[in-house]
Amino acid sequence: DTEVTQTPKHLVMGMTNKKSLKCEQHMGHRAMYWYKQKAKKPPELMFVYSYEKLSINESVPSRFSPECPNSSLLNLHLHALQPEDSALYLCASSPGMAGGPGGQFFGPGTRLTVL
């Protein structure tokens, strides 16, 4: 399996809802990432997990809570989001560090709409 998968593909939620995004990879990669991408913009890094430990948090608001239950899974828990949080949320994994050869493998993303 050489793909990163994400569920759900689309998510619509109210500002008081709690929801979770899920990401899975079975390539043995030990680094996993969450990105946020707005239309016509580059991916914006949110979190980096290395060997299942959070190594980078790019000053993301606490209404976004990441979790790495094991080396293949990455979750992003959402609570009390704002309409401006509506975006495409991309998960990625890499065989080494993102800044090293081999690059990152991206999932198809979850299109999130906050009403």
Under rule CB under 8 A, residue 99 binds other proteins: yes
Cα 22 from Cα 69, distance rounded (Å): 11
* Contact region with other proteins (CB under 8 A), list: 11-19, 61-69, 76-84, 95-103: 95-103
Please answer whether residues 46 and 34 qualify as being in contact, where contact means their C-beta atoms are separated by less than 8 angstroms.
yes
List binders of other proteins among 37-66 (CB under 8 A).
40-43, 45, 48, 50, 55-56
The residue from 14, 103, 113, 115 that contacts other proteins (CB under 8 A) is 103
**Residue whose tokens read 């606490």:** 62
Residue in 110, 109, 105 with CA at minimum distance from that of residue 31: 105
Binding residues (CB under 8 A) for other proteins: these are 31, 33, 40-43, 45, 48, 50, 55-56, 90, 97-101, 103-109
